[in-house]
Every structure is written in C-alpha cells, then in structure tokens.
Amino acid sequence: MSGRLHSRPAGSLAGGRVDVVGVSKSFGAHEVLHDVTFTAPAGSVTALLGPSGQGKTTLLRIAAGFERPDAGELRIDGEVMSGPGSFVPPERRGIGYVPQEAALFPHLDVARNIAFGLPRGSRARVDEMLELVGLVEFRHHRPAQLSGGQRQRVALARALAPEPRLVLLDEPFSALDAGLRAEVRDDAVAILRATGTTVLLVTHDQDEALEIADHVVVLLRGTIAQAGTPQSIYDAPAGLEVARFIGQANLLAAEADGAMVRSVLGEAPALGRRGDVTVLVRPEHVEVERVGSDAVSEPDRAQGALGTVERRSYYGHDGSLTVLLDSGQTVVARVSIRDLAVVGARVRVRATAVSAVF
C-alpha cells in the first residue's frame, strides 16, 4: 500500500498540539491520574505507555471528552477543551477515536461507517478514505464480513474521514494476532503520518511504543514517570521502574566515587555519583567471552566477572544468554549467533557501556 501513501489526502489539516496540564482524576476513593502534565507536539505520534491499569486509558478518555478531569486542563491548539468551569463535549472537539475492538456500527456497511461523521453527500471523501485504507472493493460489506485487520482499517478510515486535529487510538492493535499486528500497525502508522494529524496512542507494548512513536510518555501509577523521545527513554531511563519497564535491563549493585562506578561487570564513568548505587547495563552492552573451566576470578574488577551459562535463547538473527555469576547475580547478554555458548559453559562477562546510574 506504500504507493498510495506518498501523497497526502487532499484537504487534510495539520494536526493540533495537545497540552495536558496538571490533570488529576479519581474514581471514588481510587486516584487514577495524579497531576499529569505533558505536551504532544502538533503532528506527532505520541505514545502513552505503561502497564495495564495505570491510567493510560482514562487519560485518553479525558482527551476525548468521555470523562471529565477532577483538576487540571486539557487544551488542543491552545483552546481549552476540559478545564475548571469549561468543557467542550466530545462531538465538538474535532477528534477521531479508534477503540481496541474497532467498534464498527454493525447496522451500517463499510461506506456508511466511514460516512458517519461526514455531512450528507460526502461520497467523494468516503471514496478517498476507502482508497487510503485499501478497502475499495469492500464498500458494501457489513462489519461482520470483515477480518480483524480490515475492521481496524475501517475504524481508522472512519476516524480520519472528518479530518480531525487529533486521533486517539486505544490499544488498537492488541486484539489482533501477532502475525497480523505488525502489518496492520505499519499500515495504520503510515496512513496517520500521511494525513499529518496528531496521534495519541495508548499501549502497554513497549516495543510498539519505541518503534512507532516520536514521543513516549511513560505512565506509572497515574503519574508521568518520564516523557521524551524513544531513544532518550531507552538510553537514559529516569528511574529504576522505567528502566525495568522499557526493554530488558540488568540492574547491578555498584560503588561510585564521583569519578568511576564499579560493579561486577567492570568500571564506567560515575556521572558524578558517590556511594552505593545501582547501574543499568542493557543486554546488548554485555560482552561474553568463553573461558576454560579452570579460569578463576581475578581481584581486578575491570576484567569483568566469571559465570556459568544458565539459559540460552535462540532468536534466529541473534540470541541471548542468561549467565549466573559466581557472585550469585544473574546477567542477561544479547549476543551474536557466533557467541551463543551452550548451557553450562564457563564465560567471562564484561560491560561495554553503562546506560544509567541510579
């Protein structure tokens, strides 16, 4: 479908900038969101990332106007949508919404689903949207006759048809099976980027967020743990919890003296920290070297640590080793196929880089 996507659909607007300022929300005694503040730049794809039940969906529903915040303000292009004493209902916000289960209107065919938010006689726009999502020949099908992926595409077309400033996606791909998910997701993101609209995407899938978003907002227990580009969040997580949640993490006890930090895996710059700290070493920064069974630990920590391969995972393009160090800690290393040692082998592991010191 890439051929169609190089041209932007005629008449589409640039996306709106979304400002969330100090938003809080409770259901009964349970506070779901606490003082949440972030900005989704105009035209960006912003992922709200976090484990289940941490307030992501509530935040999205507040952005849509399905829920009202207890405190704080939500603005689109500077215009207050929800705030103290003012509330714009969902139907007047100019947003598109794609829920997890697509929620197509079962009594309407594909074309009428897409036309739902358009004024009467907008046939040309419907044709354009059908073309965009590649479902022209399915115009008169009922939702029940479509596959899961096709339904999501219709839901996307329906949301985009009225040219919204902001499109809200609530875990839209998680109901699809793994094989289909990547394909539907890539298509959807390409379509969304082609329209230039701002996208807020709720997901609990960190790989999905890192892959497709320009901007990631990590929500933990109703507060923002970190916000930034995927790379900044992966490379420099703001805390232990974020480090654990985003990607695989080896978290090791270490000592720092201001200049250098020393852990079992070796030395690294201490980034000004002193005392007992924890270092984050990503598996791809762990180097593994096979040693003879008679090798013994040397006092020099810069050499790394000895251990035994406990588990071996083969991914095809590469693999990973779980190594039980003689000191009792467990370290995961991402290695090339060439270095994929067998279980039980003696190895020496060393950190080539430290991502963060906490």
Note the residues at the interface with another protein (CB under 8 A). 27, 32, 52-53, 57-58, 61, 64-67, 89-93, 95-97, 99-101, 103, 105-107, 116-117, 155, 158-159, 162, 168, 171
Question: Judged by CB, which is closer to another protein: 12, or 308?
Answer: 12
Supply the minimum distance, in Å, between the C-beta of residue 139 and another protein: 19
The answer to whether the CB of 58 falls within 8 A of the CB of 228 is no
Distance CA 273, CA 260 (A): 8
Q: What is the largest CA-CA distance in the chain?
A: 81
Supply the minimum distance, in Å, between the C-beta of residue 298 and another protein: 51
**Chain CA centroid to CA 280, Å:** 20
**Chain CA centroid to CA 291, Å:** 39
Question: Judged by CB, which is closer to another protein: 30, or 338?
Answer: 30
**Chain CA centroid to CA 207, Å:** 6
357: DSSP letter: E
Question: Judged by CB, which is closer to another protein: 24, or 100?
Answer: 100
Supply the minimum distance, in Å, between the C-beta of residue 45 and another protein: 18
The answer to whether the CB of 195 falls within 8 A of the CB of 189 is no
Which of 41, 11, 63, 17 shows the shortest CA–CA distance to 195? 11
Question: Judged by CB, which is closer to another protein: 118, or 251?
Answer: 118
In degrees, rounded to 5, the angle at the alpha carbon of residue 118 between the alpha carbons of residues 116 and 121 is 105
Supply the minimum distance, in Å, between the C-beta of residue 235 and another protein: 29
Question: Judged by CB, which is closer to another protein: 175, or 238?
Answer: 175
Question: Judged by CB, which is closer to another protein: 43, or 172?
Answer: 172
Q: Which amino acid is at 312?
A: R
Supply the minimum distance, in Å, between the C-beta of residue 117 and another protein: 3
Start-to-end CA span in the chain (Å): 45
Sole residue written with tokens 């640039």:
14
Question: Judged by CB, which is closer to another protein: 169, or 280?
Answer: 169
Which of 158, 45, 180, 33 shows the shortest CA–CA distance to 97? 158
Instruction: Give me the sheet containing 274-281, strands edge to edge.
Output: 266-269, 260-263, 250-257, 274-281, 356-357
Supply the minimum distance, in Å, between the C-beta of residue 61 and another protein: 6
Supply the minimum distance, in Å, between the C-beta of residue 95 and another protein: 5
**Which residues are bridge partners to 252 per DSSP?**
279
- In order, the DSSP letters of 133-173 are HT-GGGTT--GGGS-HHHHHHHHHHHHHTT--SEEEEESTT
Question: Judged by CB, which is closer to another protein: 166, or 347?
Answer: 166
Pairing of strands 274-281, 356-357: antiparallel
Distance CA 54, CA 33 (A): 8
Supply the minimum distance, in Å, between the C-beta of residue 64 and another protein: 6
323 φ, ψ (degrees, to nearest 5)? -115, 125
Question: Judged by CB, which is closer to another protein: 105, or 314?
Answer: 105
Supply the minimum distance, in Å, between the C-beta of residue 168 and another protein: 8
Supply the minimum distance, in Å, between the C-beta of residue 138 and another protein: 19
Dig out the tokens for 337 from the structure. Answer: 């196929």
Question: Judged by CB, which is closer to another protein: 57, or 226?
Answer: 57
